Structure 1
Amino acid sequence: MSKEQAEYLEALNKEELAKKDLEGITKQIQDIQAEIKNLTPEVEKLDKLVAEQEELLSSIFKGDYGSQKENELESKMDMLVEKRNRVGVAKYKWTNGKVLLQHAVNQLAYAVKKWDELGKLDKSDTKTMYTMATEARNNLSAAIQNLQNTQKYLSNIQFPYCKEDEIKTLQKATANVYIDMMTTDRHKHALNCFSVTHKRSYALLQWFDSVLTSVIEKDFRSASDEERECSKQLRIERLRLMKESVEKDGGTCNLDAILSQLEGQEEINDKQVEQELVGLTDADDVPGGSEGSSKDMPPPTPMPLKDLAPPPSEEMLFGNINKLKDQYTKEKSEFTKVQEMNKQRLDQGLQEKLAARRNRKKRVQEE
């Protein structure tokens, strides 16, 4: 081809790749809008239940807390819920990112396979060459989208493999597939680029799996257990206060039976939370999910775990959780000070009343 023909072909290829990117992004926007629409009724239902609970507690305890312990447990519960939510969001993002990454690895493997086969064809068989080059290009394009979307999911995380400059190199090579297939040297150079990116994407997938299993899932279980235990203690304290109120008015309350029923419901809710934190599983949910398959191809040689990059810091994964703990400690301290001041005022008022009472008795005796 002449220089002008090669440039024209490259421009057409870039245009088609841009159209594919646009289609992928448009589908993502539609999926997000549909998800928001589906979740809105659930959010409204939850807000209504929270408002009803607050109204009920306010009426039972006459607008105040039932006890100092209830206040402390509720404050701690708020902190633990926020902590579990942050870890849960991280688990959701990393799980979905891992699924996108798995598709990218498969697509890169298929592209490498097709590109390698293309190099063994007779150069006169241009139709088959263009067909294979297009298959490789489509899978490379889909893999690039999935790698970029994985990074968008975790925009605050610096990936140790498949960094931005590597993706740009892969994009450039993808845009030149129809030119690179014409000569042996350029074909081999492109094959090396695709193969190296495939191996590094697999190392990134290993890293994701390591972070999920050794850090995030472990912290999520720990945060869930902490929240569950605090919720149980808060529930027991509130039921104890309600029982006292009922018995004070001459009624009866089977506290053990109520607790047993609530614990069964809590177990169901925990399973629902786990089900909600599941990543994408359908190939239609990711760019190029229906492109070529590489299930029969062995993956690259896994990188030894000791050689994998270290996991991100806790703050990068979950945000500043220590700030939540500090806020809880500060609020607890302020509440304790207020309680002590109120107690001192009550004691002072009681002493003044007793002193006045003694003075009255003394005056009566003197009279």
Structure 2
Amino acid sequence: MGCGQSAEAAAAYSNRGSIATLPVVDKATLEEYLQVEKELGEARRADPQVLSQLEMKKEALQKMTQKVEQLERHYADLEALARDGDQTDTKEAVGALQSGQRVSTAEEERVAGFNNKEIAKQERDEAIRQKENIQREVEQLQNKASRLQNLLTKQDALLGKIFGGEYGSELENKLEQELDALEAHKARIMEANYKWRQAQMMMEFACRQLAVAVQKWQDLPEVPQTSLEVRYTMAAEARNNLVAASQNIEGAHRTLSHVEFPYCNPDEVETLNKATSYVFTDMQSEERHAHAGQCYDITHKRAAALLQWFDQVLNTTIMEDLAKVNLMVKETSQKLRQERVRLIKLKAQEVWGADVDIEIDSGVSADDEDLNAMLMEGVSDSEVAKTDETGDSPRAKTPPPLTAEEMAPLPTSEAIFGKSYEQLQEDLEQMRTELESDMNYFQQEQDRQAERARGDLQAKLNARRRNRAMRSLEEKQRQELAEGAVLS
């Protein structure tokens, strides 16, 4: 029995059968159970999705840890190259370019090399900050999840004691199975909602950062060539926002790793990163400045389109599905709660000898939940790359939204929600069938090879016997011929 428990909690419950004779239970056990139910209700109201949130944050922490390790290796490689070469920094190199020297390809690569090192440091430091933020979130969630899991385990033990390890009624058994299935479906939708909203937040920041970068880049030609400090600062601010935007787009890809993005795919992000590497040389000529600006502007528009695509998925698919399953969970939970209250009252009457007024709080019902607040549970800016500037300036404009005809088609249900448990089971069964088929074929092939080997060996043995017989016959004939010669 698990009064309104989540899919994660279902595994903690023992396997009880159907109707059984109720054992004799003392008053203290019932009172302890009622207290546990009360505490469970409070815990669920405070953090209704804590168990699923913990698993998703652990996954995010694992991915970010791998990203930090990758960025640290990359930055270490660039530092090693810098130690072996020119120690000039980017600002000095840009100053040399603006002193009237002709910009050669080698000089461009030199400036780009200094710039790439600074970009690598920015990316590494930001990833480390994000990792530390996620780590703190995981620790906080672990404390809450441990308390909830302990209460669920205690509840299960008490229910087993009260009902002798059996279900109180067939109806309770049926309702609990239905609720577990609905909670599992809801958890799947909530996981998808979390990932899509986390990616949505990353793209919101990316769009604002790209808007700032485009604005800074458009303003740059208005600054005189003689104002090196101002020009360098403006270009550096544009670069920093481009780098952060790229990190946020990559973060959205990482969060929705099973989804193929119709805009801002990895190749487009790589193009943006290459353009960012040459920001300080592109600022030196009108033609290159215009070309780079076009690249930044196109990326901004496609990032805005991707954000609009995310919004459409969330508003037209995930929210609708969550509202439906939430209502079904509420109705089934209420029915199970009513049946459980009836059974507990019967048990209490058996123990106390009189009717007892019992209210069992199963936790959070759909009536208690704010759907909009529930949709944002667990979503935070801890995984977002940030910069000092924001897109609040009037000049940092947002590209116009796409029309319905221009918008890319929505992804499939499997791409949005991932594979269901039933689909995973089917895939597993298919893999098992294919493995058995492969093993049967392998065994048959081995048997055929063994049979051929036995046949080859037998043929060789027969040939050897014939050869020995022929040699024996030849030897005998030679002896007979030799004896005949002697007699004659």
Please indicate the TM-score interval, normalised by the length of the shorter structure: 0.7 to 0.9
Aligned to 2:115: 13
For 2:114 and 2:161, how far apart are their aligned partners in 1? Answer: 70
For 2:363 and 2:231, how far apart are their aligned partners in 1? Answer: 63
Question: When the two structures are aligned, how many residues end up with a matched partner?
Answer: 321
Residue of 304, 312, 318 corresponding to 2:417: 318
SS of residue matched to 2:167: coil
Query: 1:266-277 residue pairs with structure 2 within 5 A?
Result: 266=365, 270-271=369-370, 274=374, 277=377
Q: What is the CA distance between 1:103 and its match in structure 2?
A: 0.9
Query: 1:230-309 residue pairs with structure 2 within 5 A?
Result: 230-247=332-349, 250-254=353-357, 258=359, 262=361, 266=365, 270-271=369-370, 274=374, 277=377, 279-280=379-380, 286-296=384-394, 297-309=396-408
Q: Are residue 128 (structure 1) and residue 230 (structure 2) matched?
A: yes
Q: Which amino acid aligns with 2:355?
A: T
Paired residues of 2:179 and 2:333 also in contact (CA < 8 A)? yes
* Cα 1:322–1:303 shift into 2, 3 Å: same
Residue of 111, 115, 118 corresponding to 2:220: 118
Q: What is the CA distance between 1:110 and its match in structure 2?
A: 0.9
For 1:246 and 1:86, how far apart are their aligned partners in 2? Answer: 37
Aligned to 1:47: 149
Paired residues of 1:79 and 1:324 also in contact (CA < 8 A)? no
For 1:283-326, what per-residue CA distance to the aligned partner results, in whole angstroms no more than 9, with x for missing partners?
x8631242343442331111113421222222222233371899
Aligned to 1:345: none
Q: Are residue 224 (structure 1) and residue 331 (structure 2) matched?
A: no
Paired residues of 1:13 and 1:175 also in contact (CA < 8 A)? yes
5+ long unaligned stretches in structure 2? 1-102, 427-488
For 1:145-194, what per-residue CA distance to the aligned partner results, in whole angstroms no more than 9, with x for missing partners?
11111111111111111110000000000000111111111111101100
For 1:204-253, what per-residue CA distance to the aligned partner results, in whole angstroms no more than 9, with x for missing partners?
11111111111111111222221121111111112222233444564213
For 2:403 and 2:422, how far apart are their aligned partners in 1? Answer: 36
Q: What is the CA distance between 1:52 and its match in structure 2?
A: 1.5
Paired residues of 2:207 and 2:304 also in contact (CA < 8 A)? yes
Q: Are residue 76 (structure 1) and residue 174 (structure 2) matched?
A: no
For 1:250-291, what per-residue CA distance to the aligned partner results, in whole angstroms no more than 9, with x for missing partners?
421346xx26xx38964686359727615336xx86312423
Q: Which amino acid aligns with 2:217?
A: W
Residue of 168, 188, 203 corresponding to 1:101: 203
For 1:122 and 1:156, how far apart are their aligned partners in 2? Answer: 48
Q: Which amino acid aligns with 2:413?
A: E
Deviates more, 1:209-218 or 1:238-247: 238-247
Q: Are residue 197 (structure 1) and residue 306 (structure 2) matched?
A: no
SS of residue matched to 1:63: coil
Paired residues of 2:192 and 2:417 also in contact (CA < 8 A)? yes
For 1:22 and 1:43, how far apart are their aligned partners in 2? Answer: 31
Q: Which has the larger radius of gyration?
A: 2
Q: Which amino acid aligns with 1:313?
A: T
Paired residues of 1:107 and 1:294 also in contact (CA < 8 A)? no
Deviates more, 1:291-300 or 1:173-182: 291-300
Aligned to 2:32: none
* Cα 1:150–1:193 shift into 2, 3 Å: same
SS of residue matched to 1:223: helix
Aligned to 1:33: 135
- Identity, in percent, stands at 35
Residue of 206, 225, 249 corresponding to 1:147: 249
Deviates more, 1:262-271 or 1:195-204: 262-271
Q: Which amino acid aligns with 2:401?
A: P
